[in-house]
């Protein structure tokens, strides 16, 4: 019977570098990475991340709300709420968890592992919330705010009008890929970033489960991802025709 989980030192160091935060109490992080199924399997009792999920949900909403409030001082409540909703949701948190490697570090019981828990949005969203709660417990609100700012760096909206009219190719591509490839997802990789700070140019590549890759550029990482997703949708349409389209409503 295990008395406590253990995350390899090298993995902890990489995660801390990504979060730009060093834990004084590493046990808080280890608990945040422990799913209840793992705790049950190894007799750890309540030493899992469910309570931290509860706290992390509130921490993330407050941190994202404050960042948007600070960025857009003249924006009305309704628009701030719309912007926050695009960032504070299960899918967004799950994607952030994958980007920072929590899907690899998460401690799961064998049953949950065999049922695909490591790929499930709800599980990954929960561990992301728990890790941010651990940062808050260990270092306070300022530390949590800084970590959120870092983790969301590439996807903060540049304008309060962002997303109002722009077609969300990334969301639709994800729906299509999940439909076509039994729940798998597209993976985005930043290839390069060049140019001066006032005129940066980002290159992003999206990888599809069938081995296809599409590359696009944009003045932000987010815009490059949207362009790459649009190209990928064209590629899927060419390869698979209407078979790739999920049964969901989509405004062209």
Q: Catalytic residue numbers? A: 57, 129
d(CA 145, CA 150): 9
Dump the DSSP string for 147-198. Answer: HHHHHTGGGS-SSTTTTSSS--HHHHHHHHHHHHTTT---EEEEEEEES-GG
Edge-to-edge order in the sheet of strand 187-194: 187-194, 201-207, 213-218
C-alpha distances (whole Å) from 123 to each of 126, 185, 239 are 5, 15, 32
Angle made by CA atoms 223, 201, 229, in degrees to the nearest 5 = 30
From first CA to last CA, the distance across the chain in angstroms is 55
Give the H/E segment covering residue 213. strand 213-218
Helix, coil or strand: residue 36:
helix
- Contact indicator for 138, 23 with CB cutoff of 8 Å: yes
Query: What's the rounded Cα separation, in Å, for the pair 162 and 144?
Result: 25
């Amino acid at each position: 019977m295990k008395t406590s989980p253990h995350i390899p030192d090298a993995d902890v160091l990489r995660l801390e570098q990504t979060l730009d935060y060093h834990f004084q109490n590493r046990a808080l992080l280890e608990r945040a990475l422990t799913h209840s199924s793992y705790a049950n399997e190894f007799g750890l009792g309540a030493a899992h991340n469910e309570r931290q999920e509860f706290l992390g949900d509130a921490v993330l909403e407050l941190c994202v709300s404050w960042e948007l409030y600070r960025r857009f001082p003249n924006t009305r409540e309704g628009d701030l709420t719309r912007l926050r909703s695009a960032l504070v949701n299960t899918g967004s948190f799950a994607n952030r968890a994958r980007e920072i490697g929590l899907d690899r570090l998460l401690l799961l019981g064998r049953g949950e592992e065999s049922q695909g828990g490591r790929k499930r949005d709800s599980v990954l969203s929960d561990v992301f919330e728990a890790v941010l709660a651990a940062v808050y417990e260990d270092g306070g609100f300022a530390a949590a705010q800084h970590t959120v700012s870092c983790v969301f760096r590439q996807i903060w909206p540049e304008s309060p009008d962002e997303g109002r009219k722009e077609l969300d190719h990334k969301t639709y591509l994800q729906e299509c890929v999940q439909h076509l490839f039994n729940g798998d997802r597209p993976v985005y990789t930043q290839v390069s970033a060049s140019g001066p700070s006032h005129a940066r140019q980002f290159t992003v590549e999206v990888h599809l489960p069938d081995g296809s890759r599409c590359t696009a550029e944009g003045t932000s990482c987010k815009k490059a991802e949207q362009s790459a997703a649009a190209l990928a949708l064209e590629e899927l349409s060419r390869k698979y025709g209407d078979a790739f389209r999920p049964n969901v409503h989509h405004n062209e």
